[in-house]
A and B are shown apart, each in its own frame.
Chain A
């Protein structure tokens, strides 16, 4: 028997390898590429990893064995193989996410629930005033309806509330019209012995779907009349929308054909089963799978739909983000408001770490950062009939995050993103007699400007735009007359001592120092530096000066930066600090020069370049250790300056080259993310750049830029592999995404620090993959080229196709040096410090004879090229078939001659470093100092 068992064992192990290429699912086959045999790649772990993945996917036993295991696990251990599924009692299956929610540990999310209720109230009212219907109907978790089958989930002792429970609690105190509780309806159905969920599926069963749909339609039919108070308007709308007022609300399955015209549903794939039961009552339903309302990725306008429904699953409620500012604009909150009351600037008072100054009908806010805040006077709260919004137009020097707090008998908190420049914030006021609002204008130190703020009143029901003139609301008390302790305390024109209790203390001044290694983006050849700090005493004005950090030489002499320091806070701008570094700063009282402070940290004024993209960009900072960073080169990462951590050949080569040439400091912002895509489809778990959600990689990058000052001189973009993977994107999709990303995101969120009209984007081309066929990569390359041609001040700064690869995706350490130098050359070119940054370009291709082709080049930086013979990278195609090439060699300094093995008549396609895996052993490079490569091309010759 030992022979038998031994042979069986060996055969069992060998079977998968023997049946190597068989038993492949066709959809998988196209996705798996053989890494091929590459001698050079043998030393790279990535190469083995590529083979490992390939072989694993190709093993024929993979699916059979894993299916067997899944079956065993489910039958014997009651474990679903999918971690997204939870197996409860009696084989009932639940979504794991919903079961996590069922643990009822959401007490720390009370504020989020409160804020959501407030925003939903606002959204309801915005729909009402526009004559639209709004419905909020969370799809209950299966575990909420059938807790008895969930199994022994541990429950928290301290907190027994799910997020939905919190929401219900809050909705009791803050009436939320348009809230349809499907959980109640489902529980009632369950009591009547109706099974509303499938045992083995997370979604509602057919009967459950029917009940939900009926409830939704009933609600819509019951409530639509309450919106249209004006008979004239009602008939007009009815004529337009083509729905019957007298429909039997419950007759969802009856012969009634008339319904609502258009609906917009925000949901998740969970609502898929609900749709067939609803669609017949609408002319058109648009579904947006987003928890951000309105979605940042789609261009839907909820104000254009007759019905807006939020039907998010219960377990995703905490993730809903309602962009009230955008909605107020879309729904025309200003035009529909029945009353508008300005808040006098004098009534706005400073809180801690901040000072306010009325200037030219606006308030200049000197904010020291995240602890600073200012207060509005006590304002009248909303009530059931009137919803009030506070409209706050604010101007921020950089992209930042504003934090708001509204105190009634409860506390409401939230955050809003600020764009550089003007942003208008709309804060809905909760239902209460009075509300007090505090605002932290931004996380960064800076000068903000608050323009005329006002309170808008929106009445219940449809309101014609501009109808406020004839509206006679309950008298809203004028805000400036409200008694408010903060207002009283912070009146202008009081003496400095009265406003500043610290004035009684011994005089002292403390400078808020900059991070060590910080580089300020220059504007022209200097920068305006915001200097701030605190003081005690009675300074008439505050002065500042800049010294060289090491030599202590004077850079700028004592200059008054704040001639009206107030409330123990000073802030001002030291204008025109010349580019250079490292510097340190000193401040003093101008009337008591001995009262001074000097910061020890080093800072500088120079060029900031942000490096974003995926792993090949990130490797600029991590691959290679041969170079030593120039002392004026600094690194910004994770929202902090950390020059001591600067490493990697690409980053150092790039920075050093610029510093050596321009003699000014350079700061590099490292915000590339391994494996990140550009398009949503290319999100492989590491995020994608067009995602503007709070937790997305783009927002993290913007926060980084914001903490570095908000202005950048160059953006370096090296990305595309994730989007090229698995052929998921077309060239057009990538190009569109890149153009949107640059125009709508980067250039609107980041201040242009360069001398060019738009923030320059330097695209660094993707490297060649050492193995496999890669037409999808070519599509991305073409898209990048097309985008660089179409977008102003966007450049294809450097090619990396000719550089040596490391493993499958990354370049060799020395190649990153080349790439850094090439990119630096592009920057120098844009600054008029170099005459060229690109290698030779094809001028024309022509046939000399049937077997000879001449490629004529236009040189840019060089005058000749190398190598003379054995040039690689060329491919000649005839009807998609590659023709064998005998030789490719230099004919003269501008011409490459290709000799075919056999004569070929007819049209030919000549490609260089193009399409599938081109040969790059001896690429064409010019004789310029950087030895720049011939640009890839594809051309057809007759």
Chain B
């Protein structure tokens, strides 16, 4: 189930709120986690019922291994290895086996060996997110950064809590363990959660989907029909779409969690106003960046060793980061592309040079690098990406294709331009959270607009059915 779905909004969510707060009051908070867990499992089962067992199994394994690390410290490395093997093994099996075998079978043929027969597997929803979340739990316990969960329900809720189960943010156990048992539910937080949810919903339905329709129309065009302006329009539209789409999901996750008393970490901090790529990765998908930093980059030596080693580490991290998004050469190329520019930044020290004096230039350059990167990310193949980038670079003029014209209707155009304003004026405009946290009449007006105008309009979109599911839902 997705947040931008009528059943979620009109049946699942009100039912979850009523049961959680109603029964939670009656049972004096003891049942709150149970209720939330039940709803989380229901949320996961709807649409992917057979993976529920898989989720339960992998949660149980990590719970037991977490306890084992705490209780049998002598064999801690063994338990960690077991957990990493199970988690990454399942991830590789479900997500990368097809990809690996596609590359392996030609090699086997060349060596005169039989092909490995393989039927395509269906990817369990959210596997990349909850696998990383569980790995962070095990590694934190091993490093003594966190204590193991004593209660299976608490741990299961940490893994499967529906606001962040499918597309993050990737929450660390140490950040949330206190909230699992000692959280307070206040009207203030509930209200701000509602506003954050509506904010996210409107971002998704109005901005992301509008940009998405334009991007889809451009990327679906025959390469012969692409010219420079159309290609740039498509690249920009996708750049905005992926940001609004994913940050909308994060906003909705944070808002929903807040309605149930949890405070999840922010996942985005105006990434397109970054002054360099290093800065970009501190603002984009913060929880994933931090995960790779803490559990891959630093253990490899980070930047504490020789420069060559640092560059190699960067390459490894971004290669993995690219692959995390999916088993495809385009994702790998996207990761390496970012790794390459980060390395260049380090070698030339451009990130420090431009940061203060020429911040608008560095912002623009960073933004352009990111835009080209998204073309790699969005294209179906590297050949398509190369052809698309070529059209972006080599000027050409063709009439606007009709398919694009149809997508460029006044509503999409309005929201696309609004998206441009939000992105370019990011430094001058307040963030959603800042608006939500205002007081007095401003907040009342904002609440009224969100609940009485934006919510029904977005709900109508949702009811009609959107053909643009969340992008990160696929990862």
Contacts and interface: CB of A to CB of B under 8 A. Distances in A.
A622 to B, nearest CB: 11
In the A-B complex, the 7 residue pairs with the closest CB atoms: A69-B460, A2-B191, A77-B411, A154-B400, A65-B460, A77-B410, A14-B14
B6 interface: yes
Interface string A21-60: 0000000000000000000001111001101100110010
Interface in B430-465: 443-444, 447-448, 451, 455-457, 459-461, 463-464
B126 to A, nearest CB: 16
A552 to B, nearest CB: 22
A155 B399 contact: yes
Contact of B455 (A12, A56, A152, A157): A12
B451 A78 contact: no
- Most B C-beta atoms less than 10 A away, residue of A42, A153, A154: A154
A591 interface: no
Nearest to B452: A8
Contact of B11 (A2, A3, A55, A68): A55
A475 interface: no
B49 A153 contact: no
Given A77-B414, A79-B411, A100-B402, A2 B187 contact: yes
B456 A52 contact: no
B50 interface: yes
B188 interface: yes
B40 to A, nearest CB: 16
B17 interface: yes
B291 interface: no
A130 to B, nearest CB: 43
Given A6-B191, A79-B410, A1 B10 contact: no
Contacts of B409: 77-79
B119 A78 contact: no
Interface in B182-206: 187-188, 190-191, 194
A55 B9 contact: no
Contacts of B443: 1
Contacts of B456: 12, 65, 68
Given A56-B6, A66-B460, A154 B14 contact: no
A5 B194 contact: yes
B46 interface: yes
Interface in A152-188: 152-157
B402 A103 contact: yes
16 contacts: A5-B194, A10-B14, A10-B17, A10-B18, A45-B47, A45-B50, A55-B6, A65-B456, A66-B460, A66-B464, A69-B464, A152-B405, A153-B405, A154-B399, A154-B400, A154-B405
B449 to A, nearest CB: 11
Contacts of A937: none
Contact of A8 (B190, B414, B451): B451
Nearest to B21: A10
A157 B444 CA distance: 53
A157 B460 contact: no
Nearest to A68: B460
Given A9-B194, A10-B17, A44-B49, 11 more contacts: A6-B187, A6-B191, A6-B194, A9-B451, A13-B9, A13-B10, A17-B14, A45-B50, A59-B6, A79-B410, A152-B405
Contacts of B48: 45
A16 interface: yes
Interface string B40-81: 000001111110000000000000000000000000000000
A48 B50 contact: no
Given A100-B402, A153-B402, A59 B10 contact: yes
Nearest to A8: B451
B398 interface: yes
B10 A16 contact: yes
Interface in A446-484: none
Interface residues of A, number: 47
B448 to A, nearest CB: 8
Contacts of B191: 2, 5-6
B7 interface: yes
Given A17-B14, A43-B49, A55 B402 contact: no
A216 B358 CA distance: 74
Given A5-B191, A45-B47, A154 B401 contact: yes
Nearest to B50: A43
A76 B409 CA distance: 12
B426 interface: no
Nearest to A54: B7
A6 B447 CA distance: 9
Nearest to B398: A157
Contacts of B447: 1-2, 5
Interface in B290-315: none
A75 to B, nearest CB: 11
Interface in B312-326: none
B13 interface: yes
Nearest to B397: A157
Contacts of A17: 10-11, 14-15
A76 B460 CA distance: 16
Interface residues of B, number: 45
Contacts of B459: 61, 65
B473 to A, nearest CB: 15
Contacts of A76: 411
A523 to B, nearest CB: 36
A8 B191 CA distance: 11
A625 interface: yes
Contact of B411 (A6, A14, A73): A73
Interface string A82-113: 00000000000000000010010100000000
A62 B9 CA distance: 13
Contacts of B461: 69
A869 interface: no
Interface string B375-402: 0000000000000000000000011111
A72 interface: yes
A70 to B, nearest CB: 8
Contacts of B11: 17, 55
Contacts of A14: 10, 14, 18
Contacts of B401: 154
Contacts of B13: 13
Contacts of B402: 100, 103, 105, 153-154
Contacts of B194: 5-6, 9
Nearest to B404: A154
Contacts of A49: 47
A55 B405 CA distance: 35
Contacts of B10: 13-14, 16-17, 59, 61
Contact of A61 (B398, B448, B451, B463): B463
A66 B461 CA distance: 8
Contacts of A45: 47-50
Contacts of B6: 55-56, 59
A56 B400 contact: no
Contacts of A69: 457, 460-461, 464
Contact of B47 (A5, A48, A62): A48
B339 to A, nearest CB: 38
A44 B11 CA distance: 20
Nearest to B122: A45
Nearest to B415: A77
Interface in B407-435: 409-411, 414
Nearest to B444: A1
Contact of B49 (A42, A56, A155, A647): A42
Contact of A52 (B7, B14, B15): B7
Contacts of A8: 451
Contacts of B17: 10, 13
A148 to B, nearest CB: 18
Nearest to B192: A2
A13 B14 contact: yes
A49 B48 CA distance: 10
Nearest to A62: B463
A8 B448 CA distance: 10
